[in-house]
Amino acid sequence: TGEAEAARAAMGGSASLLPREALGEYQELTFLGKQEILLAYKRFSELLPKEERENACSARVPKSQILTLPELRANPFQHRICRVFSTSDDGDDSISFEDFLDMLSVFSDSATSDIKSHYAFRIFDFDDDGTLDRKDLEKLVNCLTGQGQESRLSNAEMEQLIQNILEESDIDKDGTINLSEFQHVVSRSPDFARYSVLQL
Amino acid sequence: SFSREAQLFVEKFEGALGKGKGKKFYAYKVMMTKKWMKFQRDFENFKTACIPWEMKIKEIESHFGSSVASYFIFLRWMYGINMILFGLTFGLVMVPEALMGKPYGSLPRKTVPRAEEASAMNFATLWDFSGFAQYSVLFYGYYNNQRTIGWLRFRMPLSYFLVGVGTIGYSFMIVIRTMARNANEEGGGDDTSFNFSWKMFTSWDYLSGNPETADNKFASITTSFKEAIVEEQESRKEENIHLTRFLRVLANFLALCTLAGSGYLIFFVVRRSQKFALEGLENYGWWERNEVNMVMSLLGMFCPTLFDVISSLENYHPRIALRWQLGRIFALFLGNLYTFIIALMDEINLKASYLPPFIIFNMHMGQEEDFQPLEEEKIVKYNMTIWEASLYNGTIPENSTAPPIQVDPADVPRGPCWETMVGQEFVRLTVSDTMTTYITILIGDFLRAVFVRFFNYCWCWDLEYGFPSYSEFDISGNVLGLIFNQGMIWMGSFYAPCLPAINVFRLHTSMYLQCWAVMCCNVPQERVFKASRSNNFYMAMLLFILFLSTLPAVYTIVSIPPSFDCGPFSGKTRMFEVISETLEHDFPSWFGKVFGYASNPGLILPFILLMVLSIYYLNATSKSYKEANLELKKKLQSVRNREL
C-alpha cells in the first residue's frame, strides 16, 4: 500500500516497517511526533538481532543492549531507568518497543512537568517503596558523585547533605520525601525542565 | 473514530489553514520562522563557542571549584584588555613609524652607535633588549620628532601622545565599567530556599551522553555539594564572640609586626649595600653584591606563608580569609617597595655597577635634587659642539655657507635617552618575571608532583599525605602576580610600545601552561568554597594599582623635559606641548581661542563642583533603589511562604 511504501521510505529502506495504524496510535498515546516515533523505531530495531527485526513491535530487548545506546551509556541512572520503564514479567528489565516509546515520551520536550517529576520520583526511589528515605538519598548521592573513590563524599559530608535536604524538602517531617513533597520542590527549579530531556 | 478523521483532515490541510489565498505564502512563512529560530539557536551556540578557553575553564571549575576558576576567568579578561592595548600601540604607533617613518640608519637616533655595532646582533644583546632591539620601533628612542610623516601626513608625535594617554584612559574606563556591572549582578541574589534539594534532584543533564563530559559533570556535582556544605557549615558556626575577637585582633597585630619587620629589614639591607658600594664591590662575595635582591625575594617568598599561618587564628569563612590574605600580601609588596625607594632616595647613584629594576621609580620622584639626566645632557651638548667644530677643523665661520659634511649616523655622539632606558628596564623586568613564574611552575609544581608520585614507593613516610604531597593552586599568589605584572605594563608602555605585545604573548602562553599545570600537578583544596559571584575584590586591587602605575607616566609628561636627542618629543620643553602645537597648526584659529577660554580656572572649578554634586546625588538615589529592592524581595519571600 501507499502508506506502507511511505513508511518504508521514511526509514531509509530498512526491511522492517511500522504499521500505519500503530503509528497513529502511538502519536495519540505519547507526547512524541511522527518523525520521532519513526526514528525511535529505527533505533530500536537496530538493537535487535537480524532475525527478530520483522516483528520488532513485540520483541523485547535485554537490558544490556539498551544500555549500549549512547544517550543512556553515560547516564548515572541508567539501571533505574530500565527498571522503571520495563513492563517485563520476568523482572529482567528487558524493554519492549512500547516501553521504549514510553521512556522517550516522558523525556521529550513536550511532556509536562508533572509527568516528568512523577517519573523522576520513581527513578530516584531505589527501593521502590513509594517514598525517598535516607537510604534512597544516599544511593542517589553516590550515583551523582561518580564511581571514583576520590569523588565520593565522606560520611560526615553525606550526613550533613542528607540532613540539609530533608530539612528543605520534608514538609511533614516524617523523615522521608513523598511524591507531592518531591513535586513541590522540583517544580520550582529552573533547571528541571531543561535538563530532563532525552533526544535520539 | 472521530478524532482519527479530524487528525487526517488537519494533516492534509496543514499549510492552508491560514488565509485561503495565501496558502503557499503561509507555508513559506512557517518555514522561514522555523529556519530563523534555528539560525538564532545556532548563532547563540556559535557565540558561546567563540569565547576562548571556555571548555578549559569549565573543566577546571568542575574539578577545583569556582574560586580557582575565578583566577582563570580573571586571566582571560586581562588578556582581552591587553589585546586592545596591543591593537592601539601596534596599529597607531609602531606600524606607522615602521612603514612611513625614516628607515633604520638614516638618523643618528635610529642607528646602532659605532662602538656597539660589533655585538649588536648577538643573542645575548638581543635578549637584553640592547643592540638592534633597542634601535627599533620597540622603544621610545627610535621615533623621530617630525611633525608629520609620509604621504598620509600622519602626525606621529601626536599619535604617540594620544595613544599613551588613551591606553590609560581606556584601562580606567574598562575597569570601572566591569566593577559597575559586577555590582549589579551581586544585587540580584539567589533563591536559595531549596539549594540542596535542587542540586540533588535536578543537576544531571540527560542530554550529556559523552563519557568525558559525564566525568566533568560528576566532578562538578561533587564540588558543588562540597561548596554548599562549606557554606552551610560556615553560616551555622557557633562563635564565642569574645574569644574570636581577641584572636582576630591578635592576628592583625602579628601581621602588622611582620610588615614592620620586613620594612625595617629592607631599610637596613639597602643602607648596608650602599656602604659596600662606597667601599668598592670587588672586596665582597656574591651574597653582598646581591643582598638587596635576595632579601626582597626571600621576604616575598616566606612572608605570605607566615600570613597564612596567622590567618588560621582568625577562623574566617575561606572566602573572607582569602581576601585578608590578598590584602596583607599586597600591603607587604607595596610596603617593601616604598621602603626600598625611600632608603635609596638619599643617595641615588645612577651609574652604579648594577641597577636594580625598581630604581626607575626614583627617576620620577627625584625632583628634590637636580635631575641627573639634565646635567648629563648639558655635558653631552657641549661635547657635541666641540665635536662638530673638530669636523670643520676648528673654523666655524659665523655665516657659513659651506655644505654640511656628511657623517655616518653611527658615528655621531649621542645624548642620553632616559626614556628608552626606562622602557628597557620594564621590558627586562617583565621578561624575567615571566621566566621566574614559568620555572617556578615547572619546578615547584611539576617536578614536585613527579617526585611525590614516583618516589613514594621507596620512601620511609607516605609522601602523598605527609610532606611534601601535591601542591594546591595558590590563588592569592597568582592573582597578585597578575595584577602587579599588569601594573608594570601600564607604567612602561609609554616608554616601550612593544610592552603590550610582549604581555599578550605572555598571557597567552600563561593560560595554556597554567591550565595544564593545574589539571596535571595540583590537587583541589581541602575546603572548596564558592567564589563570590563578582570579581570585585580583584577589580578593586587592579584599580588601585592602575592609579599608582599611571602616576609616574603622568608626572613625566607634565613635569620632565623629554630627551633632546631621541623620541617623538625631542626638542620640546614638555611632552604635552605637542597638543598646543597641533591646535596651532591643524585646527582653525577660533578653536584655539575656545580651548583657551575653556582651560580658564574660573570655568574648571565650577565644573568640578558640579561633578562632585552629581556623584553625591547618584549615590543617594542608588541607596534608595537598593532599599526598595530589599522591600520587594521580602514581600516575595512572605508570599512564597504563605503558599506553603
CATH topology of domain A113-195: Recoverin; domain 1 (1.10.238)
CB-nearest partner of A145 from B197, B222, B644: B222
Q: So where are chain A's domains?
A: 20-107, 113-195
Least confidently predicted of B4-18, B78-92, B601-615: B4-18
CA dihedral B501, B506, B507, B510 (to 10 degrees): 170
CB spacing of B207 vs A195 below 8 angstroms: yes
C-alpha span between B230 and A161 (Å, rounded): 10
Diameter of chain A by CA atoms?
66
Rg (CA), chain B: 32
What is the rounded CA–CA span in Å between residue A62 and residue A74?
A: 18
Of chain B, the percentage scoring pLDDT greater than 70 comes to 83
Preceding peptide of B468 cis, ω within 30° = yes
Please give the pLDDT value at position A200.
72
Q: What is the average per-residue pLDDT within B423-445?
A: 84
CA A16 to chain centre: 25
Whether residue B568 has a cis bond before it, omega within 30° of 0: no
* Partners of B149 in beta bridges: B154
Q: Do B207 and A77 touch (CB under 8 A)?
A: no
Q: What are the Cα distances from residue B25, in Å, to B16, B18, B19, B31? A: 9, 9, 9, 10
Please determine, looking at this structure, whether the domain spanning A20-107 carries the CATH number 1.10.238.10.
Answer: yes
β-bridge partners, B522: B471
Tell me the β-bridge partners of A60: A96
- Cα–Cα dist B433/B428, whole Å: 8
pLDDT for B223-251, tens place per residue? 778 887 888 777 777 767 888 888 889 99
CB contact under 8 Å between B211 and A74, yes or no, is yes
**Cα–Cα distance for residue pair B262/B246, rounded to 1 Å:** 24
Q: Are strands A95-96 and B471-472 parallel, antiparallel or unpaired?
A: unpaired
Inter-chain CB proximity B4 and A24 less than 8 Å:
yes
Q: Which of B196, B208, B213 sits opposite A168 (nearest CB)?
A: B196
A177 has which bridge partners? A132
pLDDT of B540 strictly over 70: yes
Q: What is the DSSP string of B543-564?
A: HHHHHHHHHHHHHHHHHSPPPS
For residue A186 the three cell numbers come to 522540583
B97 grid coordinates:
613609524
Please report residues of B whose CB lies closer than 8 A to that of A164: 195-196, 228-229, 232
**pLDDT tens over chain A, length 200 residues:** 444 444 444 444 444 577 788 888 888 888 887 778 888 888 888 888 887 777 777 788 888 888 888 778 878 888 888 888 888 888 788 888 888 888 888 888 778 888 888 988 998 888 888 888 888 888 888 888 776 666 677 888 888 888 888 888 888 888 888 888 888 888 877 777 777 777 77
Whole-number pLDDT of residue B364: 39
**Per-residue pLDDT at B534:** 55
A188 CB near a chain B CB, below 8 Å?
yes
Q: Three cell numbers at B544?
A: 588601585
Instruction: Determine the 3-state secondary structure of A60 from DSSP.
Output: strand
Q: H or E segment at A95?
A: strand A95-96
Cβ–Cβ of B201/A120 closer than 8 Å? yes
Consecutive H or E run containing B472: strand B471-472
C-alpha cell at B554: 603622568
B644 pLDDT band, cuts 50/70/90, is low
> Which of B8, B196, B232, B636 is the mutation pick for testing A, counting most A CBs within 10 A?
B196
Of B164, B107, B167, B163, the closest CA to residue B135 belongs to B107
SS (H, E, C) B26-39: HHHHHHHHHHHHHH
In this structure, which amino acid lies at residue B108? P
CA separation for the pair A126, A138 (Å, rounded): 10
pLDDT tens string B112-150 = 888 878 877 888 888 888 888 888 888 888 888 888 888
Q: How far apart are CA B318 and CA B320, in angstroms?
A: 5
3-state secondary structure of B84: helix
Is A146 close to B218, i.e. CB distance below 8 A? yes
Whether the Cβ atoms of residue B508 and residue B79 lie closer than 8 Å to each other: yes
| Chain B residues within 8 A of A165 when measuring between CB atoms | 196-197, 200
Shortest alpha-carbon distance between residue B224 and chain A (Å): 10
CA dist., res. B265 & res. B300, Å (int): 13
To test the contact with chain A by mutation, choose from B3, B197, B234 the residue with the greatest count of A C-beta atoms within 10 A, namely B197
Chain B CB contacts of A148 under 8 Å are 218
How deeply is B554 buried, as exposed, middle or buried, from its count of CB atoms within 10 A (0-12, 13-18, 19+)? Answer: middle
Minimal CA–CA distance to B353: which of B276, B271, B259? B276
pLDDT value of residue B16: 54
Query: Measured between beta carbons, which residues in chain A are less than 8 angstroms from residue B209?
Result: 70-75
Instruction: Name the pLDDT band for B294 (thresholds 50, 70, 90).
Output: confident
Comparison of pLDDT for B15 and B459, the residue scoring more: B459
Residue with the bigger pLDDT between B514 and B2: it is B514
Question: Pairing state of beta strands A60-61 and A95-96?
Answer: antiparallel
Residue with cell 628596564: B425
pTM of the model: 0.72
Q: What is the pLDDT of residue A147?
A: 67
A96: which strand partners? A60
Q: Is the pLDDT of residue B164 over 80?
A: yes
- What long-range pairs does B297-300 form, CB within 8 A, spacing at least 24? B299/B262, B299/B265, B299/B266, B299/B332, B299/B336, B300/B332, B300/B333, B300/B336
Residues of B in contact with A196 (CB under 8 A): 202, 206
Residue among A77, A124, A163, A195 with most chain B CBs within 10 A, to mutate: A195
B530 contacts B65 by C-beta, under 8 angstroms? yes
Contact call for residues A136 and A125 (beta carbons, < 8 A): yes
CA dist., res. B470 & res. B518, Å (int): 11
Among B56, B11, B20, smallest CA distance to B512 is for B56
- Cα-based distances in Å from B310 to B245, B257, B304: 14, 11, 10
Cell numbers 526511589 correspond to A125
CA distance B214 to chain A (A): 6
Question: Based on the number of CB atoms within 10 Å of its own CB, is B607 exposed (0-12), middle (13-18) or buried (19 or more)?
Answer: exposed
Min distance B441 CA to chain A CA atoms (Å): 25
In the predicted structure, residue B552 carries a pLDDT above the cut 60: yes
Q: Which residue of B has its CA nearest to A69?
A: B209
Has residue B192 got a pLDDT over 70?
Answer: no
Q: Find cell 538519598 and name the residue.
A: A137
More confident residue, B90 or B581: B90
Shortest distance, CA A75 to any CA of chain B (angstroms): 7
**Among all residues of chain A, which has the CA nearest to that of B212?**
A74
- In sequence order, what are the residues at sequence separation of 6 or more whose Cβ sits closer than 8 angstroms to the Cβ of residue A133? A127, A175, A176, A177
Residue B185 grid coordinates = 549582578
Q: How confident is the model at residue B393 (pLDDT cuts 50, 70, 90)?
A: low
Q: Determine which helix (DSSP H) or strand (DSSP E) holds B523, and give its type and residue range.
A: strand B522-523
Nearest to B422 by CA among B134, B107, B124: B134
Q: Which residue has the higher pLDDT, B82 or B383?
A: B82
B interface with A, Cβ–Cβ below 8 Å: 3-4, 7, 193-198, 200-211, 213-215, 218-219, 221-222, 225-226, 228-229, 232-233, 644
A144 vs B194, B196, B204: nearest CB: B204
C-alpha to C-alpha distance for B625 and B618, rounded to whole angstroms? 11
Considering only CA atoms, give the Rg of chain A. Answer: 19
What count of other Cβ atoms lies within 10 Å of the Cβ of residue A119? 20
Spatial distance between the Cα atoms of B354 and B352, rounded to a whole number of angstroms? 6
Q: Exposure string (b/e) for B327-352, b if CB count within 10 Å is 16 or more?
A: ebbbebbeebbebbbebbeeebeeee
Show the 3-state SS of B36-85: HHHHHHHHHHHHHHHCCCHHHHHHHHHHHCHHHHHHHHHHHHHHHHHHHH
3-state secondary structure of A70: helix
Mean pLDDT, chain B, whole residue set: 79
State the smallest CA–CA distance between residue B604 and chain A in angstroms.
Answer: 53
Q: Which of B206, B211, B229 sits opposite A157 (nearest CB)?
A: B229
- B626 to B183, B184, B185, B189, B507: CA distances (angstroms): 11, 10, 13, 12, 38
At A1 the pLDDT is 44
| Residue B154 DSSP class | B
The arithmetic mean of pLDDT across residues B404-415, rounded, is 72
User: Is the CB of A171 less than 8 angstroms away from the CB of B644?
Assistant: yes
